C-alpha cells in the first residue's frame, strides 16, 4: 500500500507564505483510520491583534475596546474596559472553509463581568459559545470551543463582553 498526504507549513510566519509539504509512505498499514482534515495553520487573520484590529470587525460600544502592548506572547492584546455600562463584539468571518468540525480557542484574562463569551456563529446549523472565566492578571487561560460544525464554507468567530471590570484576549485560533 502506498499513500501520499500533503499539508502546508508556514515558511516565513511574518509574510504568511506557505509551501506544501509531502509525506510519502509505503508498506503494510493495519488498523489505521483516517477521518476528517487536520490543519495546523491558524485560519484567523491577525490572531494576536499584533496589527491592531485589522481583519476584525467590532460592533456595540466600540470605544470600550483598546489595543495594548504586553500580551501573553507577542507585543499586543485586545482589551475591553469602560467607565460605564457597555457591550461589545469583536469578530471576523472566515471563508473558504471545508465542511467539517473545527475548534476555536483564545487566551483570555479578566476581572468580573456580566458576560464574556468566545463564540462561533453562522457556521451551519447551530451557533456555539462558551463562557470566558474571570482570572487575575498574569493567569492567562486558554478558552476552547470544540465541535464547531461547519456545513457551508464560512464561519464567524469572535469574542463578546458586557460590563466587564476589564477583559483582555490574545491569540485566537481556528
In a domain, 68, yes or no: yes
119-137, pLDDT tens digit by residue? Answer: 999 998 889 999 988 887 7
In a domain, 7, yes or no: no
Count how many domains the chain has.
Answer: 1
| pLDDT at residue 153 in the model | 95
For residue 24 the three cell numbers come to: 510519502
**pTM > 0.85: yes or no:** no
- The CATH number given to whatever domain includes residue 130 is 2.60.120.260
The rounded distance, in Å, linking the Cα atoms of 25 and 4 is 7
Given a cut of 50, the residues of the chain with pLDDT beneath it are 1-37
In a domain, 20, yes or no: no
| CB contact at 8 A, 125 and 86 | no
Nearest Cα residue to 78 out of 163, 174, 160: 160
In a domain, 134, yes or no: yes
| pLDDT at residue 46 in the model | 86
| pLDDT at residue 65 in the model | 77
In a domain, 19, yes or no: no
158: domain range?
57-173
In a domain, 90, yes or no: yes
42-68, pLDDT tens digit by residue? Answer: 999 988 888 888 899 999 988 877 666
Amino acid at each position: 500500500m502506498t499513500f501520499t498526504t500533503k499539508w502546508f507549513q508556514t515558511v516565513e510566519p511574518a509574510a504568511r507564505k506557505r509551501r506544501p509539504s509531502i509525506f510519502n509512505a509505503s508498506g503494510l498499514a493495519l488498523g489505521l483510520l483516517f477521518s476528517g482534515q487536520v490543519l495546523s495553520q491558524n485560519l484567523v487573520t491577525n490572531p494576536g491583534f499584533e496589527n491592531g484590529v485589522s481583519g476584525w470587525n467590532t460592533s456595540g460600544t466600540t470605544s470600550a475596546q483598546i489595543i495594548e502592548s504586553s500580551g501573553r506572547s507577542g507585543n499586543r492584546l485586545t482589551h475591553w474596559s469602560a467607565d460605564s455600562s457597555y457591550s461589545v463584539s469583536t469578530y471576523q468571518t472566515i471563508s473558504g472553509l471545508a465542511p467539517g468540525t473545527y475548534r476555536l480557542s483564545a487566551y483570555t484574562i479578566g476581572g468580573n463581568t456580566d458576560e464574556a463569551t468566545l463564540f462561533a456563529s453562522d457556521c451551519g446549523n447551530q451557533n456555539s459559545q462558551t463562557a470566558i472565566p474571570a482570572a487575575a492578571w498574569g493567569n492567562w487561560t486558554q478558552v476552547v470551543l470544540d465541535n464547531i460544525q461547519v456545513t457551508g464554507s464560512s464561519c464567524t468567530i469572535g469574542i463578546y463582553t458586557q460590563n466587564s471590570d476589564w477583559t483582555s484576549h490574545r491569540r485566537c485560533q481556528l
